[in-house]
A = this chain, B = another copy of it.
Amino acid sequence: MPTKQPVAIVFDTFGTVVDWRSSLIADLTAYGTSRDIEADWPALVDAWRAAYHPSMDRVRKGERPWTRLDDLHRASLDQLIADFGIQGVTEADRVHINLGWHRLHPWPDSIPGLTRLKSRFIIGPLSNGNVSLLLNMAKFAGIPWDMIFGSDLFHHFKPDPETYLGVAALLDLSPGQVMLGAAHNGDLAHARTCGLMTAFFPRPTEYGPHQKRDTKAEQDWDIVATDIQDMATQLGM
C-alpha cells in the first residue's frame, strides 16, 4: 500500500477502463451485416484509432479551434469511409457508427474494481472524450462514476496540464491528493509532472494480439497492479 492515500482517483478511459478495439469491431461488424454494408471493419477500427492522436494534436497545437472528440471522430470517419471505398453509408449510418465510441464494453475487472474503490474514494474518468460520450458510455456499460471529467470541461486534451490540474481544481484538492489510474505510461508521466499520484496496470491486448507498447511499468509508479481489482486491493479495500 502507498504510504499516502489519495482522496480522488481518476482514470484514463479508452483502453484503461473499456476495451475499445474489441467492442468497436464487434459492434460495427454486426451493424455492417444488418445494413448490408461491406467493409474490413477491424482495419477500419485500427485506422480510426490511429487518426486519434494526430487529430487531437492539431487542436493542442492551435491549428484548429477547440473541437470535441465526437466531432474529431466524425471527421476521421468520413475520411476513412472515402479512403476505404466503403459504399452505401448514409448520414444516419455515419451518426450510428460514430456513436460506437459511446457503446464500449469494460474489461472484466473494471466494474467490480471501480465499485470497490467508489466506497472510499471519489472516482471519475479523466479522458479525452467529451462529457456526453463518457456519460453515455457509463450508462451503457454501468460504470459507477461519481463525476465525469470530459475534455470539454477544460477545452484541452491530455496531456495538456490543464486537464490534470483542472480536475484537482474542480475537486478543490491539491494535485497530490488526486491519483491517475492508467494503462499508459505516457499519460502517467504527464500526470506525475503535474504532481498527481499514479497507478499503472497493463492492458496487453488493448491494441490487439500483437501489442508491444505499455506491457509493463516504465517508472516506479505509486501503484503497479495487474488490473483495477488488484489496484483496489493494494489501496487496502
Contacts and interface: CB of A to CB of B under 8 A. Distances in A.
B70 A131 contact: no
Interface in A98-140: 122, 130-132, 135, 138-139
A63 interface: no
A152 B170 contact: yes
Contacts of A86: none
A130 B170 CA distance: 8
A174 to B, nearest CB: 12
Copies in the complex: 2
Given A130-B170, A131-B170, A135-B146, 18 more contacts: A70-B172, A130-B172, A131-B147, A131-B171, A132-B171, A132-B172, A135-B147, A135-B171, A138-B146, A139-B146, A145-B146, A145-B147, A147-B147, A147-B148, A148-B148, A150-B170, A152-B170, A153-B170
27 contacts: A70-B172, A122-B135, A122-B139, A130-B170, A130-B172, A131-B147, A131-B170, A131-B171, A132-B170, A132-B171, A132-B172, A132-B173, A135-B146, A135-B147, A135-B171, A138-B146, A139-B146, A145-B146, A145-B147, A146-B148, A147-B147, A147-B148, A148-B148, A150-B170, A152-B170, A153-B153, A153-B170
